[in-house]
Amino acid sequence: MKKIGIIGGGAMGSGIAQVFAQTGNTVVLYDTNQEALDRSKQNLAKTFEKLVAKEKYTAEKAQEIQNSIEYVGSLEAFADIDLMIEAIIENLEIKKSVFKQVEEIVSETCILASNTSSLSIASIASACSKPERVIGIHFFNPAPLMALVEVIPAVQTRDGLAEEIRTLIQSVGKLPVITKDTPGFIVNRVARPFYGEAIRILEEGMANVETIDFAMTSLGGFRMGPFELMDFIGHDVNYRVTESVFESFFYDPKFKPSFSQKRLFEAGFYGRKSGRGFYNYAEGAERKSPSQNQVLLEKIYKRILVMLINEAADALFLNIANREDLDTAMTKGVNYPKGLLKWADEYGIENVKNDLDELYHYYHEDRYRLSPIIRNMIKENKTFY
Domain ranges of the chain: 3-178, 186-380
By C-alpha distance, which of 134, 111, 107, 115 is closest to 123?
Answer: 134
SS3 labels along 98-120: HHHHHHCCCCCCCEEEECCCCCC
Query: Active-site positions?
Result: 117, 138, 150, 188
By C-alpha distance, which of 279, 284, 251 is closest to 264?
Answer: 279
Give the per-residue pLDDT at 205: 97
Whole-angstrom distance between the N-terminal and C-terminal Cα of the chain? 38
Give the per-residue pLDDT at 340: 98
Give the per-residue pLDDT at 132: 98
CA angle 165, 168, 173 (to 5 degrees): 130
Find residue 4's DSSP bridge partners. Answer: 27, 83
Amino acid at 237: V
Q: Do the Cβ atoms of 239 and 199 come closer than 8 Å? A: no
Q: Do the Cβ atoms of 352 and 306 come closer than 8 Å? A: yes
The DSSP 8-state label assigned to residue 69 in this structure reads E
By C-alpha distance, which of 196, 195, 178 is closest to 329?
Answer: 178
Homologous superfamily of the 3-178 domain (CATH): NAD(P)-binding Rossmann-like Domain (3.40.50.720)
Fold observed for domain 186-380: N-(1-d-carboxylethyl)-l-norvaline Dehydrogenase; domain 2 (1.10.1040)
Low-confidence ranges of the chain (pLDDT < 70): none
Give the per-residue pLDDT at 1: 72
Give the per-residue pLDDT at 118: 84
In angstroms, rounded to a whole number, what is the distance separating the alpha carbons of residues 352 and 359?
11
Residues near 364 by Cβ (< 8 Å), separated by ≥ 6? none
